[in-house]
Amino acid sequence: MQPPDTSALSIQISATSPAVPNIAGSSVAVSEVIHACHSATIDQGLAALNLACLTRDTLDTVLQYCAEVRCIPDQASCPGCKRRTEMLGLETLDQYILHHKEVVVGDGAIRLQGQGVATVSTPCLETLAKQWSGENYWFWARRVIRKLRHGIRRAEMQGEAVAGEGETPSVILMEPQLADNIGMVARACANFGLDDLRLVNPRDGWPNEKARIAASGANYIIDDARAFASLDDSIADLNWLCATTARQRDLRKPVMTPEQAIAEMRARIGRGERCGILFGRERNGLETSEVANADALVMIPVNSRFASLNLAQAVLLMGYEWMRGDPGRSLGRVTTFEKPMAEGVNMGRDRSATKEELLGFFEHLERELAALGFFNPEHRRPTVIQNIRTLFSRSNVTEQEVRTLRGIVATLAQGKGARRKGKLEVP
C-alpha cells in the first residue's frame, strides 16, 4: 500500500468575512503555521500543528504565500496579522476595542466592552496596548524560510564553559517575558564568562528556539540554562545572593555598586561559596518580597531621571565588572592566530628601540640640524636639544620607527636618488 501523497499543498480562501487563507482541507490559517514554526523549531511547530499534508517538503508553499504577501490579491488576511487591522480600518486601540464584542483581560476580572460580535483575550492591558495592531507575519515567514533552507544562524556553534561549576556567579532571571531577551542575556553571559543561567518560570516556556536565535551563537549557555518553577528552587544551592534594582527599597540590607558586589562575590567564591545575581522582569522588575530573599541590593549608577535598563544591558554591566577583575581576561577575541591582548601599546612583532639606537638617532638629527644652521642663537642649543630628546624619548618609539626617522633625516638633509648624487637641482 502506497503512503498518501503529501508533496503538494495549496492555500484555500475561506468564505467568511473577512476571508482567511487556510491550509487546503483544514481550518488552520496560514498565520497559525507561521507562528508555530517561528516560535519554536520547524519540527516542533509541524508536530504541534499535526497536519498530514504539512511537512518540511510542503511547508515552503505556505511560507512563500505569506512572505510574498499573496493574500493581497486574494483579498484575504489572517487573524492576528497587521494587514487585517489595516484592512478593517482600525487605526487606534479604541477602534480595535469597539470592533469587538468584548476584550477579556487576564483571568476575566477586567473586561472591555465593544460594539462588535467577536470576543478576544489578552494576558494584560500592557500586552494589548503593544500587540493590538497585529504582527507582521510576512516578515516572520521570511525568517522561517531562512531557518528551513539554512538552519538556525550559528546553530553549529557550541562553545564551552570557561570555569568549573560554582566558580562564577549564577545569573537568575525572574519570570522573563520574552524569549528574545533570554537569548540576548545568554549572549552577554557568554561575552563575560558567566556560565550558569537560571530561569524562574519563563512566560514562553523552556527550551525556546527564539532564545537560541537571539543568542547569536552563545549556544552552550542556552543548552545548559535551567528553568525552575519558583525563586526558592532557583536559589536553593546558593550561599549568597544579590538582587539588582533601580527602585529604592525599604529593606535593611547593604546597598552595593556592581563593583562592590562583584568584589564580594569573588571573595566568597574564592572561599568555596556559591553566589548569584537576581534580575527582575522586563515589565516591572522585582517585587519587594522577592528582593527580601537577597543578601544585598545592587544599584547600577545611572541617570536618576531615566534609571530603567534593558534586561540584557543590566546583565552585561554586571558581567563586565566580573570579567574586569579576572586576571586571565583578554581585550577582544583570541584565536589560533591572535594572541591575548592587554592594556598598553600593541607592539605586535616589533620591539622598543634600545637607548643605543635612540642616542644614535639623536646624534644624527642634531648633526644635520647643526649643519643647516638650525641652532641659532648658539647659546640656546642645549635647551633645544633637551626638548628634542625629551619629545622622542616620551614617544616610546620602536626599532623600526628609529630607522624610519633616520631615513627621513638623511633624505631631508642630502636628498634622495639622483638629487643625493647632485644630478638634480633643488627648486
* Digit-coded pLDDT (tens) for 202-245: 998 888 888 888 888 888 899 899 999 999 999 999 999 999 99
Same domain, 13 and 36: yes
Output the pLDDT for position 242. 97
Angstrom distances, CA of residue 133 to CA of 82, 88, 113: 6, 11, 18
pLDDT tens track for 297-349: 999 998 988 888 999 999 999 999 999 887 666 666 665 556 666 666 777 77
Output the pLDDT for position 29. 92
Same domain, 283 and 199: yes
Output the pLDDT for position 417. 67
pLDDT tens track for 343-380: 667 777 788 899 999 999 999 999 999 999 999 888 89
Peptide bond into 207 cis (omega under 30): yes
pLDDT tens track for 153-176: 555 556 667 777 889 999 999 999
Domain count for the chain: 4
- Tell how far CA 194 is from the center of its chain: 14
- The angle, 0 to 180 degrees and rounded to 10, between the axes of the packed helices 42-49 and 56-67 is 100
Residue indicated by cell numbers 540584557: 312
Q: Is residue 421 part of a domain?
A: no
Same domain, 286 and 219: yes
Q: Is residue 127 part of a domain?
A: yes
Which residues, listed in sequence order, are joined to residue 121 by a DSSP beta bridge? Answer: 104
Question: In the predicted model, what is the mean pLDDT of residues 1-14?
Answer: 63
Q: Please state, in angstroms and rounded to a whole number, the distance separating the CA atoms of residues 150 and 145.
A: 8
Q: Please state, in angstroms and rounded to a whole number, the distance separating the CA atoms of residues 147 and 141.
A: 10
CB neighbours of residue 160 within 10 Å: 7
Same domain, 290 and 365: no
CB neighbours of residue 198 within 10 Å: 20
pLDDT tens track for 255-297: 999 999 999 999 999 999 999 999 999 988 999 999 999 999 9
Same domain, 365 and 401: yes
Q: Please state, in angstroms and rounded to a whole number, the distance separating the CA atoms of residues 317 and 51.
A: 46
pLDDT tens track for 373-404: 999 888 899 999 999 999 999 988 999 999 99
Position 3 pLDDT exceeds 50: no
User: Which amino acid belongs to residue 397?
Assistant: V
Q: Is residue 346 part of a domain?
A: no
Q: Is residue 70 part of a domain?
A: yes
Q: Is residue 222 part of a domain?
A: yes
Same domain, 319 and 193: yes
Torsion of CA 46, 47, 50, 55, to 10 degrees: 40
Output the pLDDT for position 157. 57
Contact 237, 274 (CB under 8 A): yes
Same domain, 80 and 105: no
Same domain, 264 and 186: yes
Q: Is residue 342 part of a domain?
A: no
Mean of per-residue pLDDT scores for the chain: 87
Same domain, 143 and 277: no
Output the pLDDT for position 34. 92
Question: In the predicted model, what is the mean pLDDT of residues 6-12?
Answer: 73
Q: How is residue 237 written as a grid cell? A: 544551592
Q: Burial of 179 by CB count in 10 Å (0-12 exposed, 13-18 middle, 19+ buried)?
A: buried
Same domain, 127 and 142: no
Range of the domain at 103: 91-132
Output the pLDDT for position 322. 94
> Which ranges of 74-208 does DSSP label H, i.e. alpha helix?
82-87, 93-99, 125-131, 137-150, 179-191
Q: Is residue 158 part of a domain?
A: no
CA angle 208, 124, 21 (to 5 degrees): 65
Same domain, 192 and 228: yes
CB neighbours of residue 114 within 10 Å: 18
Same domain, 238 and 198: yes
What is the sign, positive or negative, of the torsion defined by CA atoms of 188, 194, 199, 205? positive
Residue indicated by cell numbers 532564545: 211
Q: Please state, in angstroms and rounded to a whole number, the distance separating the CA atoms of residues 269 and 128.
A: 44
Question: In the predicted model, what is the mean pLDDT of residues 13-26?
Answer: 89
Q: Is residue 52 part of a domain?
A: yes
